[in-house]
Structure 1
Amino acid sequence: MSSHTALLIIDYTNDFVADKGALTCGKAGQAIEPTIINLANQFVKNGDWVILPTDVHKPNDPYHPETKLFPPHNVRNTWGREFYDGLKDWFEANKNADKVYMYDKTRYSAFAGTDLDIRLRERHIDTLHLVGVCTDICVLHTAVDAYNLNYQLIIHRNGVAGLTPEGKKWALNHFEHVLGASVVD
């Protein structure tokens, strides 16, 4: 890693990962937790950025396109929006670190409607490591936007999970063969 690198931990919340989450990846999402925590620790130790773009919604928002597609999820100030299990503990222990921050996103991509690109460019970050959920939704849309903004992408195969194994497989193939990302174990 270098000072021009950031780890993005995308949407690793109870609603997307826990057994009783509103839109959960379930066991597949739970299985990636050690990889996410290990990478986060490695990035902090190396003085690199760890950024946690996290989905947030209002229930039954008539103006949000996801309202007609998915059940209410990641509603502000609910258990569902809290980071899942070990990541919750990790964030509590590291949230005051200089290069760790969490921010709200309201669309699939961590770039849509946020200042993420500006923050990354101010910090001279040119390479993004992506982990989190869902591989074929929010991780995918974040990767496409990052590609279009000319970031180098590294996707950690063991650090992403989808709603279905087929969706994850398709997205990993797309990252590598369409976006030119490095897909690593």
Structure 2
Amino acid sequence: MVRVGWSDDYADALKQPVDARAPANALPENWWRYPAALGKGDSDLEVTKRQWGAFYGTDLELQLRRRGVDTIVLCGISTNIGVESTARNAWELGFGLVIRRRCL
């Protein structure tokens, strides 16, 4: 499972210009919690990303390879940014992909 996360002062947050600036305090208090419907288990791998894609700057590829994972299932809240970036990176790294349409 991958989540977005930054330091309290957002010093490590994305700095590239984007089309719209997020308002201050735009993240709700429960931003860091996974929805119960995902069924996160105690043994699930958890990776914190700080860029658009889940592979950039994380050990996600290493952790998946160590576990023999060759296909990943993607879902998320920002389909044309985070999910798409992760899907492209996964494909470039040779992973099979399943994108859950009902979870986007």
Task: Provide TM-score, normalisation by structure 1.
Answer: 0.46
Shift in alpha-carbon separation, 1:65–1:142, aligned structure 2, 3 A: same
**What are the within-5 Å matches in structure 2 for residues 145-164 of structure 1?**
145-160=89-104
Q: Please, which of 30, 44, 48 is the counterpart of residue 104 of structure 1?
A: 48
Q: Does 2:14 match 1:64?
A: yes
Q: Which structure 1 residue ranges, 5 or more long, are not aligned?
A: 1-51, 161-185
Whole-angstrom CA distance in 2 between matches of 1:149 and 1:159: 23
Q: Secondary structure at the match of 1:158?
A: helix
Q: Which structure 2 residue ranges, 5 or more long, are not aligned?
A: none
**Matched residue type, 1:83:** R
Whole-angstrom CA distance in 1 between matches of 2:32 and 2:58: 20
Percent of aligned positions that are identical: 25
Following TM superposition, by how much is the alpha carbon of 1:139 offset from its aligned partner in structure 2, in angstroms? 0.2
Following TM superposition, by how much is the alpha carbon of 1:63 offset from its aligned partner in structure 2, in angstroms? 6.9
Q: Secondary structure at the match of 1:111?
A: coil
What residue in structure 2 maps to residue 143 of structure 1?
A: 87
Whole-angstrom CA distance in 1 between matches of 2:69 and 2:55: 14
Whole-angstrom CA distance in 1 between matches of 2:83 and 2:61: 16
Structure with the largest fraction of strand: 1
Is the CA contact 2:3–2:32 (under 8 Å) kept in the aligned structure 1?
Answer: no
User: CA RMSD, aligned part only?
Assistant: 2.6
Shift in alpha-carbon separation, 1:61–1:118, aligned structure 2, 3 A: same
Q: Which has the larger radius of gyration?
A: 1
Q: Please, which of 54, 74, 90 is the counterpart of residue 3 of structure 2?
A: 54
Shift in alpha-carbon separation, 1:79–1:121, aligned structure 2, 3 A: same
Q: Does 2:36 match 1:86?
A: yes
Structure with the largest fraction of helix: 1
Whole-angstrom CA distance in 2 between matches of 1:63 and 1:129: 25
Is the CA contact 2:53–2:89 (under 8 Å) kept in the aligned structure 1?
Answer: yes
Task: Provide TM-score, normalisation by structure 2.
Answer: 0.77
